[in-house]
Structure 1
Amino acid sequence: MDIKTFEDLITWALELHTNLSRCLSECSGKNQDERASALLSYLAEHESELARITAEFEKQADPKALKTRIYDYLDNEHKRIKAHQICDDHYAGLDFESIEREVFAFHDQLIDLYDSLAGKAEIPEAKELVESLKAMEEHEAMRLASQIGRMNDV
């Protein structure tokens, strides 16, 4: 996806979460490890919820921020973020810890991208929007870490 505005960025992030959710869900029934399968199911639901939350940003954001051009200071970082847009059963063959590592790496990359964009935003409305996206991702990553920690305790 060609990202030209903050509105495009939100759409792109929403699509990443949606695609990751679908792939995790498809792989949950194919993973032979019961713990890994349960983790995949939980993560699929969590990513679906993140897609819903991300969509809310587009509805509630300042129109001025949404239309702000982003391509001038968006580097190739976003092109490196991959969430298995074409589900190739990648997660079906991974163990619990590997799934956990990959999903957290995905979220860390999004957080880093948002952080980078916040530092480059030229208008306060755009800076506030991307900082809010970053805060949401950080909060959800912490919540996810807590839930996965509980799954590990079982």
Structure 2
Amino acid sequence: MEIKTFEDLIDWARQLHHHLSKCLGECSGQNQDERARALLSYLADHEAELERITAEFEKQGDPKALKTRLYDYLNHKPIETHRTCDSHYADLDYQGIVTEIFDFHDQVIELYDTLAGKAEIPEARALLESLRDMEQHEAMRLARQIGRMEDI
């Protein structure tokens, strides 16, 4: 996907969450470990919710910010994720899944943070800061839920 505007960036992030949700859901039935299967299922639902929340930013974002051209994205290293679901998560253990999911979310947060620092108009900066804050909040919520799962 070619990212030219902030609206494109948000759509791309929404698609990333959708893809990850789908992949995690598919792998949940294939993993041999019961705890890992439960985690994958929970994470698939969580990513689907993040897809929905991110879509709301597209709908409710400031039109001035959404249509602003995005130049610095090309200078940022791409977010590493498995763009095709090749049963990668089905082969990981519980801790491996946790590590990869948090690494993915850290990359998204870093991208938003970097771009917010370079935003040229206040509306774009506010949009990116809101996206970053949402991702951080959801990552913290995810950490709490995973902590509870580990207690069981």
* Structures share fold, TM-score greater than 0.5: yes
Return 5+ residue gaps in structure 1 as ranges.
none
Could you say what secondary structure the match of 1:75 adopts? helix
Q: TM-score, normalised by structure 2?
A: 0.98
Shift of 1:7: 0.1
Following TM superposition, by how much is the alpha carbon of 1:84 offset from its aligned partner in structure 2, in angstroms? Answer: 1.7
The alignment of Structure 1 onto Structure 2 pairs a total of residues equal to: 152
Counterparts of 2:35 and 2:76 in 1: how far apart (Å)? 32
Distance 2:29 2:146 in 1: 19
**AA paired with 2:127?**
L
Cα deviation per residue 1:81-140 (whole Å; 9 max; x = unaligned)? 133221000000100000000000000000000000000000000000000000000000
Unaligned segments of structure 2, at least 5 residues: none
**4+ residue segments displaced more than 6 Å:** none
After superposition, the C-alpha distances for 1:40-81 in whole angstroms (9 at most, x for unaligned) are 0000000000000000000000000000000x22234352x1
TM-score (norm 1): 0.96
Q: Which amino acid aligns with 2:82?
A: H
Instruction: Give the whole-Å Cα distance in 2 for the aligned partners of 1:137 and 1:76.
Output: 21
Checking the alignment, whether the CA contact within 8 Å between 1:19 and 1:83 is kept in structure 2 is no
How much identity, in percent, do the aligned residues show?
Answer: 69
Q: Residue 104 of structure 1 aligns with which residue?
A: 102
What's the C-alpha RMSD, in Å, of the aligned pairs?
A: 0.9
> Structure 1 7/124 Cα, relative in aligned 2: closer, same or farther at 3 Å?
same
1:77 corresponds in structure 2 to: 76
